[in-house]
Structure formats: C-alpha cells, structure tokens
Amino acid sequence: MLFATFEPTCKKKKSISPVLNTKICGMELPSPIGLAAGFDKNAEVFNATLSLGFGFVEVGTITPDPQTGNGKPRLFRLPDEDALINKMGFNNKGMLYASRTIRKPKLGIVGVNIGANAKSINKVMDYSTIFEFLAHLFDYVTINVSSPNTKNLRDLQKPEVLEKILQNVTTINLSLKKQVPIFIKIAPDLTENNVTEILNVCEENKVSGLIATNTTISPRTLKKPKSFKGGLSGKPLFKPSNKILKLLAKRKKPTTALIGVGGIFSASDVYEKIRLGASAVQIYSGFVYKGPMHIKKIEMELENLLLNDGYASIDRAVGASIR
Ligand SMILES: Cc1cc2nc3c(=O)[nH]c(=O)nc-3n(C[C@H](O)[C@H](O)[C@H](O)COP(=O)(O)O)c2cc1C
C-alpha cells in the first residue's frame, strides 16, 4: 500500500553533481552510469535501481513470448577473477507482462532491451513484433543481437540480417507519435572487419548508437584460462570491450552515440571508457560484487576525476584519449 501511494508523486532523480549531468540522443541523464540489461529482466524494479543512483536503467532482455531460459545452475561467480559466467538464456515473462509493469511513473530514463525467443522460427520478425508492442512505452530500445546464450542469436549481427531487422524496426519507429532512440548491442568477440561492417549498417539505417559490449565467450580473457559454456562478464571483459569501443569511436560518425559496457568496477574504469568515446556507460558484474552503495561512490569519485582534469562536464571528456 505504501508503494501504491508513493508512486503517483514520484519525481525524477536529481544528479549528485551538475558535472555528471549529460545528454545522450536527446535523453537527459543525471549520471552517465546506467544499469546494464539482464538485472531487471521483467521491468519490475527500475524505480528501485534508479534510486541507487543509476543515471538510467535498461530492462530486459524481453522476448515476445514468455520463456523459462536455460536449466539451472546458470549463473556462476569467479571471485578470483572478479567475474561472472552466465547462461541464463533470456528467462523472462514476455512482452505482455512488461507492457503492464512499465506503466507507472518512472524516476528516470528506462530503456528496453529486446531479443528473440529461443524457439522462434523467425527471429528477425520477433524484433519487429516486440518493437511494435513495447517501444512507445520506453525511453529507448536496444536491439540485442549479441547474447551467447540463445542459439544462433549472434548470427543476427551479420550485416545483411542486421540490415533487415533495422529496416523493419525503423519503419515502425517512424510510424510512432514520438520516435525512440534505437541502440544495437554488440559482442566483444568480433573482428575489426565485423565491427566496421556492423557500424556501416547501423549508420546507413540511422541507428542512434551502439552498446559495446555484451559478455564474451573467450576463455583467453581469464587470468587462469579455462573453458566454459555461457557468457563471461566482469573484470576480464574490461580490455576486450574497450578494444571494440575504441574501434567504434575511431570510425563512427559524430552523430552516432556509444555506450561502453564491460568490466567496470571503479570511477577510473568509467572515466577510461568515456575518454575512449563512450557518452554513457553501463554496469552489471561490478554492481553484483560491490553492492548497492557502490554506484553513488563511483559517481563522487568520477566527479573528482573530471574536475581534476579541468572538465566541467562529461561531454568535454568524451573521446579525449583518441583525439
Ligand atoms: C546474469 C547476467 C545476465 C545478463 N543478461 C543480459 C540480457 O538479458 N541481455 C543483455 O543484453 N545483456 C545481458 N547481460 C550482459 C550485461 O548486460 C553486460 O553487457 C555484461 O555483463 C558486461 O558488463 P559487466 O562486465 O559490467 O557485467 C547479462 C549479464 C549477466 C551477468
């Protein structure tokens, strides 16, 4: 009951410092640090996570139909590596459920990450179906073509397939009363050539930005390499995801935004991604390891890092180390 009376009056969260205020694709963020997809799978706790200091949250991955995901156990900690391995497989309650949970006042920017059902016979169509159903309820939409835990999903990163998905969702987007920014989330396990091809297709289809990256399938990133099934996140992903971020930053058009994800545990990790070209970042594993108070702590330290280098705002620092 307390929750019900609180909701209608809830106000957007303010920034802890004006230095951290930033704008990405028209969205005003009180902080560049967002919660990555996979934590709030069903858009149930976005106001609670925004209250912890996140500047934005990405819910999902949500698929058209509900599905249970892969069998348990499917999430493992590697504490010696500050890493997680997950093979969740898009466990979620489906788009109809999310369309209900999202209909309440929001404390900030909430995006939705969309994917295809594991058993779908037309994965390309799944993106149109869910975009049409959910896009108007969210501040932005991320097309997830990079999860390693749904068979063949990452094949959708192939330029000719990605092009089809983008043409479909863009047509739907143009028919909306208010268009939403569209992001593509890519894998870290791509060659330089793959990255360039994906970027070209995104820019030809006027995608707002790219999110780099999802989890890796490469055991070589571990200090003590061992084979595993699923996607690896956390500290070992920091360098590989930064490599992709840098590649994108060097080749993208000024109008294409970048969101950096992978291995962030500290303010200096955030700062490195910003200096490599990210206008905003997202965290998952660092939040799991360091706990709920960590985000505000990182934000205060980030403010100091920016001010010490003479930056009065985030956007001045974006791409500073590749200019
Ligand atoms: C348990 C778990 C579930 C995840 N689920 C999703 C998901 O549903 N969709 C998605 O795009 N990324 C998902 N991710 C990937 C994260 O959003 C993020 O890209 C990745 O973990 C790298 O960031 P990190 O090193 O800060 O964890 C998941 C990650 C974890 C650890």
Q: Which atom of ligand 1 is nearest to the CA of 86?
A: 1
The protein residue with its alpha carbon nearest to ligand 1, atom 6, reads: 38
CA of 9 to the centre of ligand 1 (A): 32
- Interacting residues of 313 by C-beta distance below 8 A, sequence separation 6+: 18, 19, 21, 22, 306
| Residue 296 in tokens | 């505000």
Strand order in the sheet with 75-78: 75-78, 83-86, 231-234
The neighbouring-strand residues paired with 43 are none
| Residue 8 in tokens | 């209608």
Q: Select from 86, 216, 261, 284 the residue to mutate for testing ligand 1; criterion: most ligand atoms less than 8 Å from CB.
A: 284
Mean pLDDT of 167-185: 97
CA of 213 to the centre of ligand 1 (A): 9
Positive or negative: CA dihedral 225, 226, 227, 231: negative
Q: Distance of CA 143 to CAs 75, 147, 208, Å?
A: 23, 11, 11
Domain that holds residue 259: 2-322
Q: Which atom of ligand 1 is nearest to the CA of 37?
A: 17
Greatest Cα pair distance, the chain, in angstroms, is 54
Mean pLDDT of 161-189: 97
Q: What is the pLDDT of residue 59?
A: 98
Closest CA to 277 of 312, 252, 303: 252
Residue 1 clears pLDDT 80, i.e. is over it: no
Mean pLDDT of 54-72: 97
* One-letter amino acid of 203: E
Q: What is the pLDDT of residue 293?
A: 92
Closest CA to 287 of 234, 239, 240: 234
Into how many domains does the chain fold?
Answer: 1
Residue 320 clears pLDDT 60, i.e. is over it: yes
Q: Select from 233, 270, 289 the residue to mutate for testing ligand 1; criterion: most ligand atoms less than 8 Å from CB.
A: 233
Q: What is the pLDDT of residue 13?
A: 72
Q: Which of 31, 128, 146, 147 is catalytic?
A: 147
* H/E element, 83: strand 83-86
Closest CA to 111 of 35, 205, 31: 35
CA of 206 to the centre of ligand 1 (A): 25
CA 11 to chain centre: 24
Q: Which atom of ligand 1 is nearest to the CA of 213?
A: 19
**Half-sphere exposure (Cβ direction) of 106: Cα atoms closer than 13 Å:** 22
In this structure, the dihedral spanned by the alpha carbons of residues 39, 41, 42 and 47, taken in order and rounded to 10 degrees, is: 20
- If one counts every other C-beta atom within 10 angstroms of the C-beta of residue 312, the result is 11
Mean pLDDT of 117-140: 97
Mean pLDDT of 32-47: 98
321 has catalytic annotation: no
| Residue 136 in tokens | 């108007």
The protein residue with its alpha carbon nearest to ligand 1, atom 7, reads: 38
* H/E element, 203: helix 192-204
Listed range (102-106, 194-198, 220-224) with the worst mean pLDDT: 220-224
**Higher per-residue pLDDT: 2 or 166:** 166
**Higher per-residue pLDDT: 133 or 149:** 133
Kindly report the CATH number assigned to the domain that includes residue 315.
3.20.20.70
Mean pLDDT of 228-245: 96
| Residue 307 in tokens | 């001010």
In angstroms, the CA 128 to CA 185 distance is: 16
Q: What is the pLDDT of residue 143?
A: 97
Q: What is the pLDDT of residue 10?
A: 60
Listed range (8-12, 86-90, 136-140, 263-267) with the worst mean pLDDT: 8-12
- Going by pLDDT thresholds of 50, 70 and 90, the confidence category of residue 6 is very low
CA 301 to chain centre: 22
Listed range (80-84, 181-185, 217-221) with the worst mean pLDDT: 217-221
Ligand 1 residue neighbourhood (C-beta within 6 Å): 36-38, 60-61, 75, 84, 86, 88, 90, 113, 144, 147, 185, 214-215, 233-234, 237, 261-264, 283-286
The protein residue with its alpha carbon nearest to ligand 1, atom 13, reads: 38
Q: What is the pLDDT of residue 17?
A: 87
CA of 74 to the centre of ligand 1 (A): 13
Q: Which atom of ligand 1 is nearest to the CA of 287?
A: 26
Q: What is the pLDDT of residue 102?
A: 97
Residue 48 clears pLDDT 50, i.e. is over it: yes
Burial 54-86 (b: 16+ CB within 10 A, else e): bbbbbbbbbbbbbbebbeeebeeebeebbbbbb
Query: SS3 for 68?
Result: coil
Write out 225-292 in H/E/C secondary structure: CCCCCCEEEEHHHHHHHHHHHHHHHHHCCCCCEEEEECCCCCHHHHHHHHHHCCCEEEECHHHHHHCC
* H/E element, 56: strand 56-62
Residue 308 clears pLDDT 70, i.e. is over it: yes
Q: Are 22 and 305 in contact (CB under 8 A)?
A: no
